[in-house]
Amino acid sequence: MTPEAMAALHGACFPDRPWSADEIAALLARPTTCCVTDPDGRAMAVAQVIPDEAEILTIAVAPDARRDGRGTRLLARLRAAATHRGAARLFLEVAEDNPGARALYARDGFVETGRRAGYYRRADGTRIDALILSRPLP
């Protein structure tokens, strides 16, 4: 996927704070970035991997492509890629008010290890807690 296509997908999934094509291009240029995409360009996952751990920065599945197992498959590919790069633990932050993502992560073995109060700011100004989730790899 091109950074422009990735930015469009991210914007469709996260309208409160979409990533720009320039931000994505800069992220992809880092040697620590790990990115997996769906063959049809309707889903992507981006992580940062450093020795021993990986952080999922985003998983985006087009709204009309959800609930078909795409996110589960993408997450499995990302776990495998992070493990291959030497990560032993995977973590992420997810908005407390995102039940679909929370269910995906729970099914994959993630558990809550912390919380950031008011971390996400919505377009209307409300603040939502971020849950910090993690799981061992592989």
Share of the chain above pLDDT 90, in %: 90
The answer to whether 13 and 28 have CB atoms below 8 angstroms apart is: no
Residue 122 binned pLDDT confidence (cut-offs 50, 70, 90): confident
Query: Could you tell me the pLDDT band of residue 16, with boundaries at 50, 70 and 90?
Result: confident
Does pLDDT of 35 surpass 90? yes
Which residue's entry shows tokens 């590919």?
Answer: 77
DSSP per position, 58-98: EEEE-GGG-SSSHHHHHHHHHHHHHHHTTEEEEEEEEETT-
Token reading at 78: 């990302």
Q: What is the CATH number of the domain that holds 127?
A: 3.40.630.30
Give the global pTM: 0.90
The tally of domains found in the chain comes to 1
Domain with 43 in it: 3-136
